[in-house]
Structure formats: structure tokens, C-alpha cells
Amino acid sequence: MTPAVAVRNLANGLNMRAPGVSKSILEGLDEILTVNRLSLPQDLRRSLACTNIIESMNSIVRQVCRNVKRGRNAKMGLRWTAAGMLEAKKGFRRLKAHKHLPVLKAALQNHRNGQSVTPVVERLADAA
């Protein structure tokens, strides 16, 4: 059974008990499989599998933009969004697997070029 089929079966099994979880799994299926396909180190895979970082930033942007009473145009909306992101930046911490980011870069470049990613990733992972 391929990993895609296994994840789809898991999502279908959860559909009756937890439809939100099932929908979330199916929505992130491509990302889940891409992270695994790239053969990234376990620490980096774990960090990339979680969307808490993005959700936290979005929450802070919403809080900042809630102060807007009258938006004049789209540029103003972009400025408020940027201000919210700068505010969220203050609370960001270093990614636990930050030492493996060169591995991710090499894996993505090789994936884009259609090359095998495993040998390069393993060499860089050993170096990190």
C-alpha cells in the first residue's frame, strides 16, 4: 500500500468520529507526502509538519487589524497586515531544526530539477 493510500484510508476512517480532523488530513495530504518524499531529517520533518507557527502569526495579524475602523483602500489593508506580521515577529523563536535548513534547500532544488534527492540530503544531514 502506498503512503498516499494509507493516509487516505486513515482520513476516511476518522471521517465519522472526527470530520474536522479527516478534512484537515486530506487538505494537507500533498504537503505531508512531499515532506516524506524529500527524505528530510526527522527533526526537520517534525518542525515542518506543524502549522502552529503560521496559525499564531495569523492570530496576531487578526488582533492588530481588528483596530482598523475604516479601511480606505487595499494598500492600507496591506500596511496593516504587514504591521501585524512585524508585531508577530517579536514572538518568533528559532526553529528547532534550523541547522537542517540547508538540507531542505538542497532537497527542494533537487526536487525541482527532477533529480534524486536522497544522496544529497543524506550528505548534508550528516554535515549538519
pLDDT higher for 8 or 34? 8
**More confident site: 20 or 119:** 20
User: Can you tell me the distance from the alpha carbon of 80 to that of 73, in angstroms, rounded to the nearest whole number?
Assistant: 11
Kindly state the helix (H) or strand (E) to which residue 29 belongs, with its residue range: helix 29-37
Three cell numbers at 100?
537542517
**Domain-wise residue ranges, the chain:** 1-37, 38-127
Which of the four pLDDT bands, split at 50, 70 and 90, describes residue 125?
Answer: low
Banded model confidence at residue 34, pLDDT cuts 50, 70, 90: confident
Question: Cα separation of 43 and 47, whole Å?
Answer: 6
| Region at 50 (left for phi over 0; alpha for psi -120 to 50; beta for the rest) | beta
- pLDDT the model gives residue 8: 86
Q: What pLDDT score does 59 carry?
A: 92
pTM flag (> 0.75): no
Over residues 99-116, the mean pLDDT reads 82
Mean residue pLDDT across the chain: 80
